[in-house]
Amino acid sequence: MNTRLSLSRRPAALAAISAALVLLASSGCSRQLPSQYFRLLSFGTLVELEIIGVDQKKAREAYQSLQEDFDFMHRTWHAWEPGPLGRVNQAIAAGRAIAAPPSVLPLIRISQDLARKSDYLFDPGIGKLVELWGFHNSDLKPHAPPSAEAIAAIVGQHPSIRDVHLDGFHLSCDNPAVKLDFGAIGKGYGIDRAIERLKALGITDAIVNAGGDLRAIGSRAGNPWRIAIRDPDGGGIFALLSVTGDESVFTSGNYERNFTWEGKFFHHIIDPRTGYPAVGTASVTVLHPDATTADAAATALFVAGPKDWYRIARQMGIKFVLLIDTEGEAYMNPAMQKRVELQKPVPKIHVSKPL
Ligand code: AMP
Ligand code: MG
């Protein structure tokens, strides 16, 4: 698949799906601190890169290495196209132990840790359920949801990433119902690697934004990065916030991948306990230093929902959460409330105890 995208061919649809938009026009950059802006396609979305304060040659070098890195990561961790993860999944399904590809091992390890802290509400071992719901498809069309029996047959086998055992490179799994799908964490892990790469190149002020999920380092020529959080209802702007230093903003939303069948709405974030799309949440935005944790946590808190997000956020060490439920009500912790600038009337705001 050609993942490159020229400036002129940027599809409007991709721009529209962004959960959070970086407000590029919010602050100008002086001549001494030029701003270089690049984009590419990866992880099924538009990845935007803005680098401040380096010359064009250096910025282009950074862009090119990120392009190679993203191409590699996209291929390596793709949930349904052939590649290293596909080989791991084949071995698991066949009950065979394998020497795990080094490109996949760290992602499994870190996912196991985050899954445990989320009480397995974030669980990349549930790929079979995601597939059953028809989300292992680049061209998602309306279709009948799976039968209750088919869902129960998988849920009854309790597939979980905790069933995967690692001993050095040696990977075994005692549950053939497990299928690894890193859709809920891969983008965050990839953005962390991209930021590492930029830092290694001596870049101190930059933002990597993949379809609205992002990590920013430094500042935008002395100004904070201004981030817009999408309104899950209608796609306008729900809130604005400022980011400086080194911070990631990740949103899981029911508007990202979904279909409607016979008037019923089905989205892509599955509750591993029931096997059905998680109920009650429209979107969750998490701020956290690293993007990997932010990505996994946004998914976990989406599943946890309005009643349980606080407990799971504490377990995962998350300090800033905004959850919007399917009624449009907002839930946040006091520190998050201080940072968000709401852009629309909200029917009710529930502020939790401090995290
Ligand atoms: P995100 O947009 O980061 O919340 O990730 C959603 C994607 O992760 C889905 O498209 C699935 O591929 C996968 N997924 C769905 N539900 C879960 C879950 N409960 N835990 C882990 N991954 C999930
Ligand atoms: Mg996620």
Q: Which of 185, 230, 299 to mutate to test the pocket of ligand 1 (most atoms within 8 A of CB)?
A: 299
**For range 48-52, the mean pLDDT:** 96
**For range 129-142, the mean pLDDT:** 93
Q: CA 127, CA 75: separation in Å to the nearest integer? A: 17
pLDDT tens, position by position, 140-177: 999 999 999 999 999 999 999 999 999 999 999 999 99
Atom of ligand 1 nearest to the CA of 79: 12
The environment of the single-atom ion ligand 2, i.e. residues with CB closer than 5 A, is 184, 295, 298-299
pLDDT confidence band for 213 (50 / 70 / 90): very high
Amino acid 138: pLDDT: 85
Q: Which ligand has the nearest atom to the CA of 123?
A: 1
Nearest CA-CA partner of 16 in 36, 41, 45, 43: 45
pLDDT(41) > 80 = yes
Share of the chain above pLDDT 70, in %: 91
Q: CA 16, CA 88: separation in Å to the nearest integer? A: 34
Amino acid 30: pLDDT: 45
pLDDT confidence band for 32 (50 / 70 / 90): low
**For range 307-319, the mean pLDDT:** 98
Mean pLDDT of the chain: 91
CA of 296 to the centre of ligand 2 (A): 4
Looking at domain 1-355, its CATH architecture is Roll (3.10)
pTM for the predicted model, two decimal places: 0.92
Amino acid 79: pLDDT: 83
Q: Which ligand has the nearest atom to the CA of 44?
A: 1
pLDDT tens, position by position, 238-295: 999 999 899 999 999 999 999 999 999 999 999 999 999 999 999 999 999 999 999 9
pLDDT confidence band for 130 (50 / 70 / 90): very high
Of the listed ranges 31-35, 40-44, 313-317, the least confidently predicted one is: 31-35
Amino acid 354: pLDDT: 98
Q: Which of 89, 118, 130, 267 to mutate to test the pocket of ligand 1 (most atoms within 8 A of CB)?
A: 130
